Amino acid sequence: MRIEAVAVVIPACDEEALLPAALRAVRTAGAHPDLPPVRRLTVVVADSCGDRTARRAREAGAAVVTVSCRNPGRARAAGVAHALLELGAPAVPAWIATTDADSEVPPNWLAHQLARAAQGWEAVVGTVSLPPTSSLTPVHQVGYESSRPSQGAWDHPHVHGANLGVTADAYVSVGGFPPLGVGEDHALVRALRKAGHRVLATDACPVLTSARLKGRAGGGFADHLTQLAAPEEASTC
């Protein structure tokens, strides 16, 4: 599949501390030598921010969409809508990649996703990893990789907005991100699969994400880590 433009969409709520690192990582991924010569756009959706998130995004050269919904699904959808309009997609063949403000994508992230698009995949569902210095990393990895086979590729069961990519055409065809407070990424991938789009679940290019226990959305990844941390905290009481 030929891709002419790529947009990276990042929702952010009061993320002035972590957003600069996320944007530096996206910028590095956009300069990878294996990335085809495509138009690139980064969109930060500043959702209900009371800090300098929007300012930090503009300083890094990102387009900024401001919303006040405190809803990841609506925020991601608003960012993608801006990207589609700016890029002229889906009339222009485009790829929409999403990550999070507390995450850092690897240098080959966009090159990896577009290489899969060139193979005919319409969506790429990636994995996440925690910083090696986090005490939660070992216990997270054990549960997270419980379905990994001893040999061969891992068709993993995880879905993360922090590591997701989809063609603009497939995204629009299923109605995009639904307005959910949590699980909008899962809902989008379910819709893509139900509609018969080619969806690749791969751990080939994991995204480093924060090990913080207090996230911006209830029921999200931070709550999962909090549950993992609970036994550890109980043992120290």
User: Hey, where are the domains in the chain?
Assistant: 5-235
Give whole-number Cα distances, 121 to 18, 24, 102, 108, in Å: 31, 27, 27, 17
Shortest CA distance to 16 belongs to which of 53, 49, 55?
53
CATH class of the 5-235 domain in this structure: alpha beta
Tokens of 93: 């063949």
Q: What is the pTM of this model?
A: 0.90
- The pLDDT tens digits of the residues spanning 17-61 come to 999 999 999 999 999 999 999 999 999 999 999 999 999 999 999
The C-alpha angle 193, 81, 125, rounded to 5 degrees, equals 30
For the chain, what is the radius of gyration of the CA atoms? 17
Residue 232 pLDDT: 45
Residue 3 pLDDT: 97
- In sign, the C-alpha dihedral spanning 54, 29, 152, 135 is negative
Task: Please state whether the peptide bond connecting residue 90 to the residue before it is cis, i.e. omega within 30 degrees of 0.
Answer: yes
Shortest CA distance to 35 belongs to which of 43, 44, 27?
27
At residue 233 the predicted structure's pLDDT band, cuts being 50, 70 and 90, is very low
pLDDT for 12 beyond 70: yes
Q: What is the mean pLDDT of residues 75-92?
A: 98
Residue 192 pLDDT: 98
pLDDT for 211 beyond 80: no
Residue 143 pLDDT: 73
Residue 212 pLDDT: 62
Rounded Cα distance between 16 and 101, Å, is: 9
At residue 8 the predicted structure's pLDDT band, cuts being 50, 70 and 90, is very high
Residue 234 pLDDT: 35
Decide the pairing of beta strands 94-98 and 164-167: antiparallel
